[in-house]
Amino acid sequence: MSLKRKVAILGATGAVGQRFIQLLQGHPWFKIEVLAASERSAGKKYKDACNWLMESNLPPEVAEMPVVNADVDSVSKAGKVDLVFSSLPGDLAGPVETQFGAEYPVFSKASAHRMAKDVPLLIPEVNPDHVALIPIQKKNRGWKGFITTDPNCSTIQLAITLKPLMQFGLKQVIVSTMQALSGAGYPGVASLDIIDNVIPFISKEEEKVEEENQKILGTFNGKEVQKANFVISASCNRVHVKDGHLESVFAKLDSNPSVEEIEEAFRNFKGEPQRLKLPSAPEKPIVVRKEPNRPQPRYDRDEGKGMSVVVGRIRKDPIMTVKYMCLGHNTVRGAAGAGILSAELFAAKGLV
Ligand SMILES: NC(=O)c1ccc[n+]([C@@H]2O[C@H](COP(=O)([O-])OP(=O)(O)OC[C@H]3O[C@@H](n4cnc5c(N)ncnc54)[C@H](OP(=O)(O)O)[C@@H]3O)[C@@H](O)[C@H]2O)c1
């Protein structure tokens, strides 16, 4: 791919926006052209508008870029862009992304459009065929552009592990999450609420995990996605960890595979990003750890540059069929990395 596509980032100053900027540095196919955020930030240089939280330094050329308002007019005036990454707050993303979608390809990290019938809820390794919803959406809405979405951060890592279990007849899933602080954005949860504590509630999170997986793992029948036929019960907790969501998963299967067969299914799982060798595709979407005390957020979240899901403690369950732990980097595989991988899939297919 010779010419780099120019991108705008909506919500560029937030936890996910910053991760987009970090991951897009030196990207072979995409170049940052416009940064947009709220009117609090608009008109400032990026370095003055945001509190840079990434482990690497703020790239000097980005530091000096102006931030503009996250609306179509301001973004179009600021530069000619080929596609838009949106990491806007969920409540705002609905109308704003609709305006952008009429004009531009929009890759959204927000929840607003995820469950719309003509919008893909995409994980490139899991359901790349759902991209076929895009021509249907464009026709339905009469748009030049489109909206495609990535799942919720807890959902993405779970769905990646559920996909290889589908071959054994997935019936029921119970999941309890331990979610990192960066998942709440910046400044996020007050320190006095979370130090020495676990908060057993994350607004709207359980609902998202319980409804998104069936769409992601559903079947595209040429017109729409027919949801997969299994149920999930989720219980979500905020824990005192910077990055990396850990999940305790219990799955009931129709058949009774051995632990070794399940481990093998996880290890062998690969998808279209690996076949197409997309720039952000991890070599192994799922990495299996054999130690009894892994995965752990601090040690395992950067596996595959943050794009691999790490699974461990796979064992038989006396009530369900199997149980295991899974870990994913919430702002990489769960957010900006997921958006970039989706855009790479579209680029590889000539759709952006
Ligand atoms: N954090 C995660 O791990 C994660 C994972 C998956 C999905 N998501 C989703 O990604 C989105 C962003 O999350 P985040 O964690 O990055 O949140 P965040 O840190 O709170 O950042 C929010 C961003 O949106 C901008 N913004 C806020 N109000 C705005 C307005 N009225 N108009 C225009 N821009 C506005 C902010 O700009 P200012 O700085 O100017 O206020 C900031 O750039 C959310 O929808 C979230 O649910 C987050």
pLDDT tens digits for range 60-116:
999 999 999 999 999 999 999 999 999 999 999 999 999 999 999 999 999 999 999
d(CA 37, ligand 1 centre) in Å: 9
Instruction: Tell the burial category of 203 from Cβ atoms under 10 Å away from its Cβ (0-12, 13-18, 19+).
Output: exposed
Q: Name the catalytic one among 50, 113, 130, 153.
A: 153
- Planar angle of CA 138, 140, 144, nearest 5 degrees: 25
Backbone torsion region of residue 313, taken as left when φ is above 0, otherwise alpha when ψ lies between -120 and 50, otherwise beta:
left
Instruction: Indicate which residue's Cα is closest to atom 2 of ligand 1.
Output: 183
Pocket of ligand 1 (CB under 6 A): 11-17, 37-38, 40-41, 70, 87-90, 92-93, 109-110, 153, 182-183, 185-186, 330-331, 334-335
On whether the CB atoms of residues 150 and 307 are closer than 8 A, the answer is no
d(CA 16, ligand 1 centre) in Å: 7
Instruction: Indicate which residue's Cα is closest to atom 30 of ligand 1.
Output: 38
On whether the CB atoms of residues 37 and 67 are closer than 8 A, the answer is yes
Which of 88, 108, 156, 202 most suits a substitution to test ligand 1, by most atoms within 8 Å of the C-beta? 88
Q: Is the model's pLDDT at 2 over the cut of 70?
A: no
* Residue-by-residue DSSP string for 278-313: -TT--S-SEEE--STT---HHHHTTGGGGTSEEEEE
Mean per-residue pLDDT of the chain? 97
Q: Which residues, other chains included, contact 158 with Cβ-Cβ below 8 Å and sequence gap of 6+?
A: 173, 175, 209, 213, 247, 249, 326
Give the domain 153-329 fold.
Dihydrodipicolinate Reductase; domain 2 (3.30.360)
Instruction: Indicate which residue's Cα is closest to atom 25 of ligand 1.
Output: 11
153 belongs to the catalytic site: yes
- In whole angstroms, what is the distance from residue 310 CA to residue 343 CA? 23
d(CA 42, ligand 1 centre) in Å: 15
245 belongs to the catalytic site: yes
- In whole angstroms, what is the distance from residue 118 CA to residue 136 CA? 7
pTM of the model: 0.98
Superfamily of domain 5-152+335-348: NAD(P)-binding Rossmann-like Domain (3.40.50.720)
Can you read off the two tokens belonging to residue 326? Answer: 């899974």
What are the residues facing 8 on neighbouring strands? 34, 84
Q: Which residues, other chains included, contact 75 with Cβ-Cβ below 8 Å and sequence gap of 6+?
A: 8, 10, 34, 36, 68, 81, 84, 100
**Res 210: pLDDT:** 98
d(CA 65, ligand 1 centre) in Å: 19
On whether the CB atoms of residues 12 and 66 are closer than 8 A, the answer is no
Domains of the chain, residue spans: 5-152+335-348, 153-329
Instruction: Tell the burial category of 314 from Cβ atoms under 10 Å away from its Cβ (0-12, 13-18, 19+).
Output: buried
Mean pLDDT of 289-298: 98
Confidence of residue 285 (pLDDT cuts 50, 70, 90): very high
